[in-house]
């Protein structure tokens, strides 16, 4: 009887309260994982059913013909082209800028301002990047008189990728131990040799992971493309197509999801399937790679 | 001795090598300043493009809800109200859900690998493109919630938020899809802040006899509060700028309504919807709306960064 207070008492208010909040937290976690499961399941089922060889080779038919929607070849190639353009612009700029922040800057007001600017730019809504490129390039026809173009779309995406690339470069380089730099400078290498031959290769893996994730993210961005690259139903055949409207998977999903025709909706699901599978693959792969690196480091 | 030292000091690199070094440094300097240029460029370009509309309507633009390209009358109140309401309400739902999930991941209710799976599921959700979530919302989520909305209107119709007949696409659906998109942001930042709270604090609390949840509420959450707040603000910025999923499900109607069950508008969905086909002074008005959106998200973002700097954990 006296020893009773030493045992766990189920009905004590603190224990009841603890049980209650624990189950509440478990409930939150269950709700939190539901969306991913539902979204991925539906995309696998509804999108996976549409995957045929023709899907990858045909042009989409203009909406209205309910029988056959065609394929998504132009959009698929368009997404590849536009993200490549965005990468060609943002990777050199971002890696270069990141090198300055991590290797040269000394924490002065300039680097503080740039780091702040990077964070602010990362928070700028993606549609604003589209609006900006529209005003700067599309409406002025500055690119050899072409208005909506794949090139403009790629530029809009590069604005969104830039903060990611700079941040990962900056943080990746900061993780490189200073001893490596001292050793290289100590044996007489110049700053630029040290950076290009020692620090950048050391940080290569983390930078590459961040950049690839950034590209995957950009591939799914729609808002900056809907009035810069617009959309096109036709095959991309040559270099000059860069200066015309260009389709992309993301815009195809947007346009065709809102069509009243079943055939177009199915095409949107198929495009989602391809987009989501490739993005998730990249994400999961980089996650496994990161976990693997951590394990080898610990040993 | 003296001579030797100066000799050592004066040893120079070849001119070419020195120049390359200098050029490399200046190139990286230029590239990093491009970030600042782009940022200012965006602000300036959007501001100047909106100038025509700004000088014509002034601040009246923010409080009138007439949007009529035929009569050339523009006011963005519906869109601004929609932006604020959808983002704030979705955040209100996301905060407890996200923090609860973060607590689940950082506490040890279940074995570690289960928590890791939950954590990566939530993070992978952030990788799903917004347009795909929009597609899913149209074809899966909307039919799923249809009955529920009818019920909501029937029994809570006396509240002005649910006072209209549920439309096929409405603001409440946009709020729900926003919750899905904000959940990963709030959860991962809350998890990181909770993980940063030193173990000592927890042990001290357990040591004086506090129960687990007493410890969480009185010690751990207050210690992690600043980080969580910053995450919440970042999520708010994201919510206000989120375009595709919201555009696809909110119904895009400029008619103002208090009810969440009727179609609505946000600034970003207005831009996505009208920008391609706009001309004349409508373009300028759209730029004005874009400027408002940019200022809103800039303020929220800068405040979040300030908060992180000011209150970052110092243990």
- pLDDT tens string B177-230: 999 999 999 999 999 999 989 999 999 999 998 999 999 999 999 989 888 998
Q: Identify the band that residue B71 occupies on the pLDDT scale cut at 50, 70 and 90.
A: confident
CB spacing of B272 vs A126 below 8 angstroms: no
Mean pLDDT for B271-291 is 87
Cβ–Cβ contact A257 with B under 8 A = yes
User: Domains of chain A by range and CATH?
Assistant: 73-248 (1.10.3720.10)
Distance of residue B62 Cα from the nearest chain A Cα, in angstroms? 19
Q: State the complex-level ipTM.
A: 0.91
| A78, two tokens | 């368009």
pLDDT at position B13 is: 63
The alpha-carbon gap from A100 to the nearest alpha carbon of chain B, in Å, equals: 5
**Which residues 213-242 of A have a C-beta within 8 angstroms of B?**
216-217, 219-223, 226-227, 230
Chain B neighbors of A283, CB-CB under 8 A = 124, 127
Q: Is the pTM of this model over 0.95?
A: no
- A123 token code pair: 């928070």
Task: Please write down the HEC assignment for all residues of chain B.
Answer: CHHHHHHHHHCCCCHHHHHHHHHHHHHHHHHHHHHHHHHHHHHHHHHHHCHHHHHHHHHHHHCCCCEECCCCEECCHHHHHHHHHHHHHHHHHHHHHHHHHHHHHHCCCCCHHHHHHHHHHHHHHCCCCHHHHHHHHHHHHHHHHHHHHHHHHHHHCCCHHHCCCCCCCCHHHHHHHHHHHHHHHHHHHHHHHHHHCCHHHHHHHHHCCCCHHHHHHHHHHHHHHHHHHHHHHHHHHHHHHCCHHHHHHCCCCCCCCCCCCCCCCCHHHHHHHHHHHCCCHHHHHHHHHHHHHHHHHHHHHHHHHHHHHHHCCCC
- pLDDT value, residue A298: 46
Contacts of B124 in chain A (CB under 8 A): 36, 280, 283-284
Pick from A35, A127, A222: CB nearest B131:
A222
Residue of B nearest to A251 (CA): B131
What is the pLDDT at residue B309?
77
Q: Is A270 on the interface with B (CB under 8 A)?
A: no
Percentage of chain B modeled with pLDDT above 70:
94
Residues 50-69 on A with a CB inside 8 Å of B are none
Query: Which of A28, A93, A269 has its CB closest to that of B31?
Result: A93
Q: What is the pLDDT along chain A (299 residues), one digit of tens a residue?
A: 556 777 777 788 888 989 999 999 999 999 999 999 999 999 999 999 888 888 888 888 877 765 677 889 999 999 999 999 999 999 999 999 999 999 998 888 999 999 999 999 999 999 999 999 998 988 888 777 778 889 999 999 999 999 999 999 999 999 999 999 999 989 888 888 999 999 999 999 889 999 999 999 999 999 999 988 888 888 888 888 888 888 999 999 999 998 888 888 989 999 999 999 999 999 999 888 877 776 665 43
pLDDT digits 0-9 by tens, A111-169: 999 999 999 999 999 999 999 999 898 888 877 777 888 999 999 999 999 999 999 99
């Amino acid at each position: 009887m006296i020893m009773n207070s030493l045992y766990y008492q189920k009905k004590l208010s603190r224990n009841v309260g603890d049980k209650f909040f624990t189950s509440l937290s478990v409930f939150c976690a269950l709700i939190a994982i539901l969306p991913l499961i539902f979204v991925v399941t539906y995309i696998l089922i509804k999108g996976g059913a549409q995957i045929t060889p023709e899907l990858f080779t045909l042009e989409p038919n203009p909406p209205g013909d309910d029988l056959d929607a065609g394929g998504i070849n132009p959009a698929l190639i368009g997404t590849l082209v536009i993200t490549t353009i965005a990468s060609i612009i943002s990777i050199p700029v971002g890696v270069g800028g990141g090198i300055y922040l991590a290797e040269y800057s000394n924490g002065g007001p300039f680097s503080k301002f740039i780091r702040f600017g990077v964070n602010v730019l990362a928070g700028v809504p993606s549609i604003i990047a589209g609006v900006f490129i529209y005003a700067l390039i599309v409406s002025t026809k500055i690119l050899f008189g072409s208005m909506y173009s794949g090139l403009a779309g790629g530029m809009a995406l590069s604005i969104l990728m830039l903060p990611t690339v700079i941040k990962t470069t900056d943080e990746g380089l900061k993780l490189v131990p200073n001893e490596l730099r001292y050793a290289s400078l100590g044996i007489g290498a110049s700053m630029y040799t040290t950076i290009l031959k020692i620090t950048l290769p050391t940080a290569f893996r983390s930078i590459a992971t961040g950049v690839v994730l950034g590209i995957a993210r950009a591939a799914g961005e729609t808002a900056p493309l809907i009035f810069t690259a617009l959309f096109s139903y036709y095959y991309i055949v040559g270099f000059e197509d860069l200066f015309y409207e260009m389709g992309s998977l993301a815009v195809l999903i947007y346009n065709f999801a809102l069509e009243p025709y079943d055939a177009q909706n199915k095409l949107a699901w198929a495009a989602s399937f391809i987009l989501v599978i490739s993005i998730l693959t990249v994400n999961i792969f980089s996650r496994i790679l990161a976990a693997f690196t951590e394990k080898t480091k610990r040993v | 001795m003296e001579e030797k030292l100066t000799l050592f000091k004066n040893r120079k690199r070849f001119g070419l090598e020195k120049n390359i070094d200098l050029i490399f440094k200046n190139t990286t300097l230029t590239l990093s300043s491009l970030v600042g240029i782009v940022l200012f460029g965006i602000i300036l370009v959007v501001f100047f493009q909106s100038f025509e509309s700004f000088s014509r309507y002034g601040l009246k633009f923010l409080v009138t809800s007439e949007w009529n390209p035929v009569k050339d009358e523009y006011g963005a109140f519906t869109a601004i109200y929609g932006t604020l309401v959808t983002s704030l309400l979705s955040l209100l739902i996301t905060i407890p859900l996200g923090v609860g999930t973060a607590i689940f991941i950082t506490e040890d209710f279940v074995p570690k690998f289960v928590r890791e799976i939950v954590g990566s599921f939530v993070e992978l959700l952030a990788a799903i493109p917004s347009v795909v979530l929009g597609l899913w919302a149209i074809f899966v989520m909307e039919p799923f919630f249809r009955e529920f909305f009818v019920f909501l209107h029937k029994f809570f119709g006396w509240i002005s938020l649910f006072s209209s007949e549920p439309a096929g696409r409405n603001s409440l659906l946009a709020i729900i899809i926003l919750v899905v998109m904000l959940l990963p942001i709030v959860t991962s930042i809350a998890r990181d802040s909770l993980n940063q709270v030193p173990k000592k604090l927890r042990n001290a609390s357990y040591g004086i006899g506090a129960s687990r949840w007493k410890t969480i509420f009185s010690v751990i959450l207050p210690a992690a509060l600043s980080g969580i707040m910053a995450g919440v603000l970042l999520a708010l910025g994201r919510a206000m700028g989120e375009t595709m999923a919201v555009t696809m499900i909110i119904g895009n109607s400029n008619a103002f309504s208090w009810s969440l069950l009727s179609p609505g508008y946000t600034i970003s969905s207005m831009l996505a919807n009208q920008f391609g086909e706009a001309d004349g002074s409508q373009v300028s008005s759209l730029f004005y709306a874009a400027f408002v959106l940019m200022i809103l998200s800039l303020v929220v973002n800068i405040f979040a960064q300030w908060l992180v700097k000011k209150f970052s954990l110092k243990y």
